Chains A and B, each alone.
Chain A
Amino acid sequence: QSVLTQPPSASGTPGQRVTISCSGSSSNIGSNTVNWFQQLPGTAPKLLIYSNNQRPSGVPDRFSGSKSGTSASLAISGLQSEDEADYYCAAWDDSLNGWVFGGGTNLTVL
């Protein structure tokens, strides 16, 4: 059971906009920034969003992040077949004194 809660799956058609939620608590998302990762099969997670809504260099602006209270969201607009992957959220937890991750959301492009 992951500390951060994500829907196990999401789907959309090419060109569509999809959002993935990440729910936490006051000790993690409520008081620290959120990272979002994309993971393709057999590879390490790749940073997509940091500090809730910042994109690293090279990440398309189709990816965006937001945070409100103890929840965060990742939005992908203009969905492409190459976006089919697993997506994870993560945040530091002040009570656990460690990083916590979401259980991951498997995105299917129909």
Chain B
Amino acid sequence: QVQLQQSGPGLVKPSQTLSLTCAISGDSVSSNSAAWNWIRQSPSRGLEWLGRTYYRAKWYKNYALSVKSRITINPDTSKNQFSLQLNSVTPEDTAVYYCARTHDGYYDFWGQGTLVTVSS
């Protein structure tokens, strides 16, 4: 059974960087059949996919156009986890952030969610 455990601060100041980590158990971040995603959810924007990383003989990353200039998703093979960094945050980035695995074209495992509030 795959488990995803999220960690990171719940409060970030405007203009600073939001950083979250998703620790994987029961699978490998280097899996050749999975992709590792970040999604957020807010009342104003609903569910919004932010990006993903995956390994298919080399590392690939895809980012949503809405955050492409501010986002970085990195795998960490030594700790079997992946991370999200979102720069220059504003109150509009306040949301519940989820990490999730996609496998064969569907989302089968999700992290527990982290409420991140952007406020001074």
Task: Mark B residues whose CB is within 8 Å of A.
Answer: 37, 39, 46-49, 51, 62-65, 98, 100, 102, 105-108, 110-113
Contact = CB atoms under 8 A, between A and B. Distances in A.
Contact of A98 (B46, B64, B100): B64
Interface in A1-28: 2
Interface of A: 2, 32-33, 35, 37, 43-47, 50-51, 56, 88, 90, 92, 96-104
Contacts of B63: 98
Contacts, number: 56
A100 B46 CA distance: 11
A92 B105 contact: yes
A99 B49 contact: yes
A47 B46 contact: no
Contacts of A101: 46-49
Top 9 A-B pairs ranked by shortest CB distance? A50-B106, A99-B49, A44-B110, A101-B47, A103-B46, A35-B106, A98-B64, A44-B113, A98-B49
